[in-house]
Amino acid sequence: MTKAVLGIIGGSGIYDLPGLENVREERVHSPWGEPSGALRIGDIAGLPVVFLARHDKGHRLSPSDINYRANIDALKRAGVTDLVSLSACGSFREDMPPGTFVLVDQFVDRTHRRESSFFGKGLVAHVSMAHPVSPRLRDRIAAAAVAEGIEPKIGGTYICMEGPQFSTYAESMTYKQLGYSVIGMTNMPEAKLAREAEICYATVAMVTDFDCWHPEHDAVTVADIVKVLLGNADLAKRLVARLARDFPREHEACPIGSDRALDNALITQPEARDPELIRKLDAVAGRVLGKR
């Protein structure tokens, strides 16, 4: 059995993780560049936990400037088996008002400035993204939320826009009419890269606003968002503490195989593979490339 290591990516408003014990900060070198910041590595109730502030301390990085590949690679090198993304978002649904925690099960990627794969020329791989969220991990998050008195909405589609600007009214109305639940700027390509790295992934989408489709919220501002953000962040930290306390100490195999996503994904023949790319993939794909 593989030891479970819980990874937490803190989004807007979450730059630290209270309750983390025996903490050390580690700057992990990644061949994919610089991660957002140092990893905070420790434990909660004896469970190894690795925390990364997606935007770095002080919110230094915009969504488009985050090195998503380096972040996921660094978390993989730290041994993370299960990854929870805490993410602020806007809502397209009246039944998901500000303050709601949504455990999404689907993503739509509308980003265009970001590297979205570890693979490419010299080693091509195609992983399945039909079901991008690991259901067992999501179920454990839901149970932890309920135990803390948080009633999450289960299921929904998160559309990831490029940003950093908020939506136009026309965009917001289009996404609402398409039936999407929430909108954010960071979960893609994060979820895709986690799948390529064979890390179980789930999102807690924390609603801060109604985006600009809502007649009473037609101009989203940072000031409005921050008010809700702080309350959401406190609840999220409680949720994570409960999740860690109740989390199994041995990694549970993902029922949809997200932790073995590379089993049948590599298509480039061994003799045609680029040795330099293989070297960079030592953590992400070491299991199938014979490096680990």
Residues annotated in a binding site: 12, 54-55, 87-88, 185-186, 209-211
Residues annotated in a binding site for phosphate: 12, 54-55, 87-88, 186
- 209 assigned to active site: yes
Active-site position among 73, 105, 109, 211? 211
Helix axes 135-147 and 222-246, enclosed angle (nearest 10): 100
- 73 assigned to active site: no
**From CA 50, how far away is CA 29, in angstroms rounded?**
15
Spatial CB neighbours of 265, under 8 Å, sequence gap ≥ 6: 125, 126, 127, 196, 288
Active-site position among 209, 218, 234, 259? 209
Residues annotated in a binding site for substrate: 185, 209-211
Q: Which residues are catalytic?
A: 209, 211
